[in-house]
Amino acid sequence: MVAYTQLKDFLTDIFESIGCSKADAVTTANVLLAAELRNINSHGLIRVKDYYNLWKQGRLNPTPNIEIVHETPSTAVVDGDNGLGMLVGLKAMQIAMDKAEKVGTGWVSVRNSNHFGIAGYYTMQALKRDMIGMAMTNANPLVAPTFSTDKLLGTNPISVAIPAGNEAPFVADFATTPIARGKLEVMHKKGLKAPDGFVQDKYGESSNDPNILTEGGAILPLGGDYVHGSHKGYCLGAIVDIFSAVLSGANFGPYVPPSVAYLPVLPDLPGIGTGHFFGAMRIDGFQPADEFKKYMDLWIRTFKEATPAKGQNRVFVPGEPEREWEAIRMKEGIPVLDRVKEELSLIAKELNIKMSF
Contact 152, 254 (CB under 8 A): yes
Looking at the Cβ atoms of 220 and 336, the one nearer to a second copy is 220
Q: In the complex, what is the shortest distance from the CB of residue 125 to a second copy, in angstroms, rounded to a whole number?
A: 18
Q: Which is nearer to a second copy, 97 or 175 (CB)?
A: 175
Q: Between 6 and 149, name the residue whose CB sits nearer to a second copy.
A: 149
**CB of residue 176 to a second copy, shortest distance in Å:** 7
**Does position 165 bind a second copy by CB under 8 A?**
no
- Name which of 63 and 206 has its Cβ closer to a second copy: 206
In degrees and rounded to multiples of 5, residue 20 shows phi and psi of -70, 155
Distances in whole angstroms, Cα of residue 32 to Cα of each of 80, 135, 204, 304: 19, 16, 35, 29
Q: 20 or 77, CB closer to a second copy?
A: 77
Is residue 39 close enough to count as binding a second copy by CB under 8 A? no
Are 197 and 329 within 8 A, CB to CB? Answer: no
- The binder of a second copy chosen from 44, 117, 197, 275 (CB under 8 A): 197
168 lies in the site for a second copy, by CB under 8 A:
no
Q: How far apart are CA 215 and CA 201, in angstroms?
A: 7
Alpha-carbon distances of 235 from 221, 241, 242, 323, rounded to whole Å: 9, 10, 10, 29
- 4 lines the binding site for a second copy (CB under 8 A): no
Q: How far is the CB of 183 from a second copy (least distance, A)?
A: 11
Tell me which DSSP letter residue 222 carries: T
Site for a second copy in 170-189 (CB under 8 A): 170, 172, 174-179
Q: Which of 254, 261, 289, 355 binds a second copy (CB under 8 A)?
A: 254
* Minimum separation from the CB atom of position 312 to a second copy (A): 4
Going from the C-alpha of 321 to that of each of 212, 222, 293, 330, the distances in angstroms are 31, 21, 21, 14
- Point out which span in 27-35, 118-126, 199-207, 327-335 binds a second copy (CB under 8 A): 199-207
Concatenate the DSSP letters of all residues of 163-217 into one string: --SSSPPEEEEE-SSSS-HHHHHHHHHHTPPPPTTSEE-TTS-EE--TTGGGGT-
- Which residue type is seen at 175? A
CB of 95: closest distance to a second copy in angstroms? 13
| Enclosing H/E stretch for 350 | helix 338-351
Nearest approach, Cβ of 61 to a second copy (angstroms)? 23
C-alpha separations of 20 from 54, 118, 341 in Å: 14, 20, 22
Which residue in 19, 68, 316, 339 binds a second copy (CB under 8 A)? Answer: 316
Asked if 216 is part of the footprint of a second copy (rule: CB under 8 A), the reply reads no
Residue of 15, 116, 122, 292 interacting with a second copy (CB under 8 A): 292
Q: How far is the CB of 33 from a second copy (least distance, A)?
A: 24
Encoded one letter per residue, x for contact with a second copy by CB under 8 A and - for no contact, window 223-242 reads xx--xxx-xxxxxx-xx-xx
Q: Which stretch binds a second copy (CB under 8 A): 52-60, 67-75, 116-124, 340-348?
A: 67-75
Q: Using CB under 8 A, which of 145, 210, 217, 257 touches a second copy?
A: 145
Give the count of residues interacting with a second copy (CB under 8 A). 88
Write the DSSP symbol of residue 150: S
Write down the least CB distance from residue 262 to a second copy, Å. 25
Identify whether the C-beta of residue 111 lies closer than 8 Å to the C-beta of residue 79: yes
Angle between helix 4-17 and 22-37 (nearest 10): 140
From candidates 6, 53, 148, 208, binder to a second copy by CB under 8 A = 148
- CA 119-90-78 angle, to 5 degrees, is 105
